[in-house]
């Protein structure tokens, strides 16, 4: 898996020509980036386009720590 692009702008599906669009949600308390999700309506930090889909399992999100462990990419270091 690789990062294709990131943006502080909230990207939409039709903005993406290739790859899989996800959004980073900030924590409620301090706004620090916390999780990667397919859709984020509040506390949006930034958007990221990845070369492969994320397997969220039964959840609708993955913490950034779990994402880094699973995929070997630290999404906190890319923006």
Structural domain spans, the chain: 3-73
Q: Mean pLDDT throughout 37-48?
A: 93
Residue 30, pLDDT score: 86
Instruction: Using CA atoms of 15, 7, 38, 59 in order, give the dihedral in degrees to the nearest 10.
Output: 170
Q: Mean pLDDT throughout 41-46?
A: 92
Residue 65, pLDDT score: 92
Return the SS3 of 26: strand
**What does R_g of the chain's alpha carbons equal in angstroms?**
11
Residue 78, pLDDT score: 65
**Residues 46, 7: contact at Cβ < 8 Å?**
yes
- Taking only the tens place, the pLDDT of each residue in 17-28 is 999 999 999 998
Q: Mean pLDDT throughout 24-49?
A: 92
């Amino acid at each position: 898996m690789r990062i294709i692009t990131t943006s502080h702008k909230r990207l939409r599906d039709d903005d993406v020509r290739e790859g899989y669009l996800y959004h980073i949600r900030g924590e409620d308390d301090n706004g620090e980036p916390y999780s990667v999700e397919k859709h984020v309506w509040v506390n949006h930090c930034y958007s990221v386009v990845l070369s492969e889909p994320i397997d969220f399992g039964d959840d609708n999100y993955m913490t950034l720590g779990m994402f880094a462990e699973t995929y070997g990419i630290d999404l906190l270091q890319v923006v």
